[in-house]
Amino acid sequence: MSSLQRVAHVGASGFIGTAVLHALLDNNLDVTVLARKDSESKFPGHVKVVRIDFSDRSSLVESLRGYDAVVSKVGVRAINSQYEMIDAAVEAGVKRFIPSEYGCDITISKTANLPAYKERLDIKNYLQSKAETPETGFSYTTISTSILVEAVVGGPLPDIQPRARTATIYDGGDVPVSMTPASLVGEAVAAVLQHPEQTRNRSVLIHGGAFTQNQFLSIVQRCVGADGWQVNRQDTSEMEERSWKAYEKTPKDVLSWLPGFVRLGLFGKGYGGDFTGRTANEELGLKTISLRDLDALIERLVSS
Ligand SMILES: NC(=O)c1ccc[n+]([C@@H]2O[C@H](COP(=O)([O-])OP(=O)(O)OC[C@H]3O[C@@H](n4cnc5c(N)ncnc54)[C@H](OP(=O)(O)O)[C@@H]3O)[C@@H](O)[C@H]2O)c1
Find the CATH number of the domain harbouring 271: 3.90.25
Instruction: Express as a percent the part of the chain with pLDDT over 70.
Output: 98
Instruction: Look at residue 182 and tell me whether its pLDDT is greater than 80.
Output: yes
| Same domain? 23 vs 82 | yes
| Same domain? 48 vs 185 | yes
Q: Assess whether the C-beta atom of 145 lies below 6 angstroms from ligand 1.
A: yes
Residue 154 has what pLDDT?
65
| Same domain? 197 vs 230 | no
Residue span of the structural domain in which 38 resides: 6-145+181-205
Number of structural domains the chain divides into: 2
Q: How confident is the model over 14-45, as pLDDT tens digits?
A: 888 888 999 999 999 999 999 999 999 999 99
Distance of CA 290 to the CA centre of its chain: 21
Strands 160-161 and 166-170, bridge-based pairing: antiparallel
270 class by beta-carbon count within 10 Å (0-12 exposed, 13-18 middle, 19+ buried):
exposed
Find the CATH number of the domain harbouring 59: 3.40.50.720
| Same domain? 96 vs 130 | yes
- Residue 64 falls inside a structural domain: yes
Overall average pLDDT of the 190-214 stretch: 96
Instruction: Look at residue 257 and tell me whether its pLDDT is greater than 90.
Output: yes
Overall average pLDDT of the 154-181 stretch: 88
In angstroms, what is the span from residue 17 Cα to ligand 1's centroid?
7
Rounded CA gap, 64 and 11, in Å?
Answer: 15
Helix pair 182-194, 15-26: axis angle to 10 deg: 50
DSSP 196-263: TTTTTTEEEE--SEEE-HHHHHHHHHHHH-STT-EEEEE-HHHHHHHHHHHHHH-TT-HHHHHHHHHH
| Same domain? 201 vs 215 | no
CB 3 within 8 A of CB 64: no
| Same domain? 240 vs 193 | no
Backbone angles phi, psi at 252, to 5 degrees: -80, -20
In angstroms, what is the span from residue 90 Cα to ligand 1's centroid?
22
| Same domain? 265 vs 190 | no
In angstroms, what is the span from residue 81 Cα to ligand 1's centroid?
11
Q: How confident is the model over 120-141, as pLDDT tens digits?
A: 999 999 999 999 887 889 999 9
Residue 3 has what pLDDT?
78
User: pTM for the complete prediction?
Assistant: 0.95
| Same domain? 141 vs 24 | yes
Residue 152 has what pLDDT?
83
Mutation choice for ligand 1 from 64, 74, 124, 275, CB with most ligand atoms inside 8 A: 74
Instruction: Express as a percent the part of the chain with pLDDT over 90.
Output: 88
| Same domain? 110 vs 219 | no
